Structure 1
Amino acid sequence: MVVDALPSHPEARPRHWARKMLSLVMAGVIALGSLVPVEAQQRRISFIRDAEIEQVMRDYLDPILGAAGLRKGFIRVVLVNDRSFNAFVADGKRVFVNIGAIMDSQTPNQIIGVLAHEAGHIAGGHLARLRNELEKAQAIAIIGTLLGGAALIGAAQSRQIGSNSTGAMGALLTGPEMARRSLLAYQRGEEQAADRAALTFLEKTRQSPKGMLETFERMSNDMLFSSTRLDKYTQSHPLPQDRVASLREAAVKSPFFNEKDPPARLMKHEMIRAKLYAFTGNASEVARRYPGHNTSLPARYARAIIDYRFGRPDNALKAIDALIAEQPGNPYFWELKGQALLEAGRASQAVAPLRRAVSLAPNQPLIRTMLGHALVAADTPQSIAEAIKELTNATSRDPDNFEGFRYLAQAYGRKGDEGNAALAAARGALIEGQFQDAQRFARRAMPLLPPNSAAYLAARDIAEAKPEKTN
Structure 2
Amino acid sequence: MMQDLRQQPGRAAPRTFSKLTALLAAAALLVAPVARAQENRGPPILRDAEIEQLLRDYTRPILRAAGLEKQNIQVAIINNGSFNAFVADGRRIFVNYGALMQSQTPNQLIGVLAHETGHLAGGHLSKLREQMARAQTSMIVAMLLGVGAMVAGAKGGSNGSNSGASNIGMAAVSAPQALFQSTMLSYQRQQEENADRAGVKFLTDTQQSPKGMYETFKRFSSDSLFAARGADPYQQSHPMPRERVAALEEFAKLSPYWDKKDDPALQQRHDLMRAKTSGFMEQRDTVMRRYPSSDTSLPARYARAIATYRHGDLRDAVAQIDGLLAVQPNNAYFHELKGQALLEGGKPAEAVAPLRRAVQLANNAPLIEMMLGQALVASDNKATIDEAIRILRAAVARETEAPIGYSQLAMAYGRKGDYAEADLASAQAAFLRGDNKTARDLASRAKARFAIGTPGWVKADDIIAAKMPGK
Alignment-derived partner of residue 230 in structure 2 = 229
> Which SS does the other structure have where 1:222 is aligned?
helix
Are 1:122 and 2:120 counterparts?
A: yes
Is the counterpart of residue 64 in structure 1 residue 71 in structure 2?
A: no
Q: 3-state DSSP class of the match of 2:448?
A: helix
Say if 2:80 and 2:98, in contact at 8 Å, map to a contact too.
yes
Could you list the per-position Cα deviations for residues 11-38 of structure 1 after superposition, in whole angstroms to 9, with x for gaps in the alignment? xxxxxxxx98443567279xxxxxxxx9
For 2:204, the equivalent position in structure 1 comes to 203
Shift, 1:467, TM fit: 4.7
Which residue of structure 2 lines up, in the alignment, with residue 7 of structure 1?
none
Q: Is the 8 A contact 1:391 1:408 kept in 2?
A: yes
Provide the residue aligned with 2:433 in structure 1: 432
**Does the 8 A contact of 1:144 with 1:178 survive in 2?**
no
Residues 62, 72 of structure 1: 8 Å contact kept: no
Residue 392 (structure 1) shift: 0.8
Q: What is the identity, as a one-letter code, of the residue corresponding to 2:436?
A: F
Aligned-pair identity (%)? 49
Correspondence for 1:87:
85
Mapped to 2, the partners of 1:256 and 1:414 lie a distance apart of 58
Q: How many residues are aligned here?
A: 443
Q: Which residue of 1 aligns with 2:16?
A: none
Secondary structure, aligned partner of 2:370: helix
1:464 maps to which residue? 465
How far 1:158 moved relative to its partner?
4.8
Amino acid paired to 2:89: D
Aligned to 2:162: 162
Contact 1:87-1:98 within 8 A present in 2 as well: yes
Number of the residue aligned with 2:283: 282
Opposite residue 115 of structure 1, the aligned amino acid is L
Q: 2 CA distance for matches of 1:351 and 1:469?
A: 36
Q: Report how far residue 161 of structure 1 moved.
A: 4.1
Q: Which residue of 1 aligns with 2:75?
A: 77
Question: After alignment, is 130-139 or 319-328 more displaced?
Answer: 130-139
Cα distance, 1:157 vs structure 2:
4.4
- Contact in 2 for aligned 1:24/1:180 (Cα 8 Å): no
Corresponding position of 2:188: 187
SS of residue matched to 1:96: strand
Determine the structure 1 residue equivalent to 2:44. Answer: 46
SS in 1 for 2:34: coil
Rounded Cα–Cα distance in structure 2 between residues aligned with 1:442 and 1:132 = 40
After superposition, give the CA deviation of every residue in 1:330-386 in whole Å (9 maximum; x if it has no partner): 000000000110011000010011011111112311110110110110112122211
Give yes or no for contact 2:33–2:129 (8 Å, CA) kept in 1: no
Tell me the equivalent position of 2:333: 332
Change (3 A) 1:451 1:365: same
- Correspondence for 2:445: 444
Q: CA deviation at 1:115?
A: 0.7
TM-score when normalising by structure 2: 0.89
> CA–CA distance in 2 between the matches of 1:222 and 1:354?
43
After superposition, the Cα gap between the structure-2 partners of 1:242 and 1:22, relative to the gap in structure 1 and judged at 3 Å, is: farther
Structure 1 residues 466 and 289, CA gap change in structure 2 (3 angstroms): closer
- In 2, Cα distance between equivalents of 1:469 and 1:133: 25
| 1:70 partner letter | L
- Name 2:15's counterpart in structure 1: none
Q: 1:452 to 1:232 in 2, by over 3 A?
A: farther
Change beyond 3 A, Cα 1:299–1:388? same
The alpha-carbon distance between structure 1 residues 50 and 73, as it changes in their structure 2 partners (threshold 3 A), is farther
Further displaced range: 95-104 or 440-449: 440-449
Structure 1 unaligned spans of 5+: 1-18, 30-37
Q: Give the 3 Å change call, closer, same or farther, for CA 469–416 of structure 1 in structure 2.
A: closer
Aligned to 1:377: 378
1:131 aligns with 2:138: no
Tell me if the contact between 2:188 and 2:238 (Cα under 8 Å) persists in the aligned partners: yes
2:211 and 2:454 map into 1 onto residues whose CA distance is 55
Checking the alignment, whether the CA contact within 8 Å between 1:423 and 1:445 is kept in structure 2 is yes
Amino acid in structure 2 at the alignment position of 1:106: Q
| Structure 1 residue 238, shift from structure 2 partner | 1.6
Q: Which shows bigger deviation, 196-205 or 267-276?
A: 196-205
- Show the 5 A alignment for 1:324-403: 324-403=325-404
Give a deviation string over 1:52-100, Cα, whole Å, max 9, x none.
Answer: 1111111001111100101258111111110000011121221111000
Amino acid at match of 1:64: I
**Secondary structure at 1:92's aligned position in 2?**
coil
Deviations 1:408-461 (A, max 9, x none): 111111111122112212222222222222222222211222332333222211
* Cα RMSD (Å): 2.2
Offset of residue 286 of structure 1: 0.9
Structure 1 range deviating more: 215-224 or 434-443: 434-443
Tell me the SS of whatever aligns to 1:23. helix
> C-alpha separation between the residues in 2 aligned to 1:137 and 1:432?
36
Structure 1 contact 450–456 (Cα < 8 Å) conserved? yes
Counterpart contact for 1:137–1:180, Cα < 8 Å = no
What SS class does the counterpart of residue 446 from structure 2 fall into?
Answer: helix
Matches within 5 A, 1:21-36: 21-24=28-31, 27=34
